[in-house]
Chains A and B, each alone.
Chain A
Amino acid sequence: MSKPLTNQEFSALRDYIYKKAGIFFTEKNRFILEMRIEEILNETGYKSVTEYMRALEDYKTSFTEWNRLMNKVTITETSFFRDKYQITAIEKNVLPEIIKRREQNGSRQLRIWSAASSSGEEAYTMAILLAEQLKEAVGRWNIAIYATDINENALAAVRAGVYSSYSLRNTAEDIKRKYFNKLPDDRYEIKDHLKKMVLSEKCNLMDYNASRRYSKIDLILIRNVLIYFDQVSKAKVLQMCYENLNEKAFLFLGHSETIFGIANNFKLVSFVNAFAYMK
Chain B
Amino acid sequence: MIDSIRQKVEGIRDFLPPIPLVMNELVQLLNQDDVDFKALADVISKDPSMTMNVLRIANSAFYGLPNRVNSLDHAVAMLGIKELTSLCMSCGAASALAPSKKGQKTMDLRSFWRHSVATGVIARMFAVEFGLPTSNLYLGGLMHDVGMVVLDRFFHPLYTKIVEVTFKENMPVIDAETRVLGETHAKIGGWLMEKWKLPPLFCEIASFHHSIEESSGEHRMIVSVVSLANQVSRLTGFGFGGDETGMVISESSAFQFIAKAHPNLENMDVAKFVMDLDRADGEISELERMMTNE
Q: Is the CB of B234 within 8 A of A260?
A: no
Contact check: which of B232, B239, B244, B271 meets A260 at CB < 8 Å? Answer: B271
Q: List 24 A-B contacts (CB under 8 A).
A: A88-B244, A92-B244, A93-B170, A93-B245, A93-B246, A96-B170, A258-B271, A258-B275, A260-B270, A267-B248, A267-B250, A267-B251, A268-B250, A268-B271, A269-B247, A270-B246, A270-B248, A271-B244, A271-B246, A272-B235, A272-B244, A273-B235, A273-B237, A275-B271
Chain B: number of interface residues, binned into ranges: 20 to 34
Q: Is the CB of B237 within 8 A of A260?
A: no
Contact check: which of B236, B239, B248 meets A269 at CB < 8 Å? Answer: B248
**Residue B34 is within 8 A (CB to CB) of chain A in the complex:** no
Q: Which of B249-280 contact A (CB under 8 A)?
A: 249-251, 269-272, 274-275
**A261/B269 contact (C-beta < 8 A), A92-B170, A271-B235 known:** yes
Q: Is the CB of A276 within 8 A of B246?
A: yes
**A256/B249 contact (C-beta < 8 A), A88-B244, A272-B239 known:** no
| Closest CB in chain B relative to A247 CB, distance in Å | 15
Q: Is the CB of A260 within 8 A of B272?
A: yes
Bound form: Cα–Cα A256–B246 in Å: 17
Bound form: Cα–Cα A65–B248 in Å: 45
| Closest CB in chain A relative to B139 CB, distance in Å | 26
Chain B, Cβ-Cβ closest to A267: B248
* Of A92, A267, A270, most B-chain CB atoms within 10 Å: A270
Contact check: which of A96, A258, A270, A276 meets B235 at CB < 8 Å? Answer: A270
> What is A's interface to B at a CB cutoff of 8 Å?
88-89, 92-93, 96, 256, 258, 260-261, 267-273, 275-276, 278
Q: Is the CB of B272 within 8 A of A258?
A: yes
| Closest CB in chain B relative to A22 CB, distance in Å | 22
| Closest CB in chain A relative to B186 CB, distance in Å | 21
* Of B236, B246, B271, B272, most A-chain CB atoms within 10 Å: B246
| Closest CB in chain A relative to B238 CB, distance in Å | 10
Contact check: which of B237, B248, B251, B270 meets A272 at CB < 8 Å? Answer: B237
Chain B, Cβ-Cβ closest to A277: B271
| Closest CB in chain B relative to A263 CB, distance in Å | 12
Bound form: Cα–Cα A93–B243 in Å: 11
A89 partner residues in chain B, CB cutoff 8 A: 244, 246
* Of B244, B247, B248, B251, most A-chain CB atoms within 10 Å: B244
Q: Is the CB of B248 within 8 A of A268?
A: yes
Chain A, Cβ-Cβ closest to B238: A272
Bound form: Cα–Cα A27–B20 in Å: 63
Q: Is the CB of B236 within 8 A of A268?
A: no
| Closest CB in chain A relative to B142 CB, distance in Å | 21
A267 partner residues in chain B, CB cutoff 8 A: 248, 250-251
B235 partner residues in chain A, CB cutoff 8 A: 270-273
Q: Is the CB of A270 within 8 A of B170?
A: no
| Closest CB in chain B relative to A220 CB, distance in Å | 16
B246 partner residues in chain A, CB cutoff 8 A: 89, 93, 269-271, 276
Q: Is the CB of A278 within 8 A of B248?
A: yes
Contact check: which of B237, B244, B249 meets A268 at CB < 8 Å? Answer: B249
Bound form: Cα–Cα A219–B274 in Å: 23
A258 partner residues in chain B, CB cutoff 8 A: 269, 271-272, 275
| Closest CB in chain A relative to B201 CB, distance in Å | 27
Q: Is the CB of B236 within 8 A of A273?
A: yes
A93 partner residues in chain B, CB cutoff 8 A: 170, 244-246
Taking A258-B269, A260-B271 as given, write out 18 further A-B residue pairs in contact, using a Cβ cutoff of 8 Å, ordered by the A residue number.
A88-B244, A93-B170, A96-B170, A258-B271, A258-B275, A260-B269, A261-B269, A267-B248, A267-B251, A268-B248, A268-B271, A269-B246, A270-B235, A270-B247, A270-B249, A272-B244, A273-B237, A275-B271
Bound form: Cα–Cα A278–B247 in Å: 11
Bound form: Cα–Cα A258–B154 in Å: 45
Bound form: Cα–Cα A275–B275 in Å: 10
Bound form: Cα–Cα A256–B247 in Å: 18
| Closest CB in chain A relative to B255 CB, distance in Å | 11
Bound form: Cα–Cα A270–B269 in Å: 12
Chain B, Cβ-Cβ closest to A255: B275
A278 partner residues in chain B, CB cutoff 8 A: 248
B245 partner residues in chain A, CB cutoff 8 A: 93
B251 partner residues in chain A, CB cutoff 8 A: 267
B236 partner residues in chain A, CB cutoff 8 A: 272-273
Q: Is the CB of B275 within 8 A of A268?
A: no
Bound form: Cα–Cα A268–B248 in Å: 6
Q: Is the CB of A268 within 8 A of B239?
A: no
* Of B247, B270, B271, B272, most A-chain CB atoms within 10 Å: B271
Chain A, Cβ-Cβ closest to B237: A273
Bound form: Cα–Cα A10–B89 in Å: 63
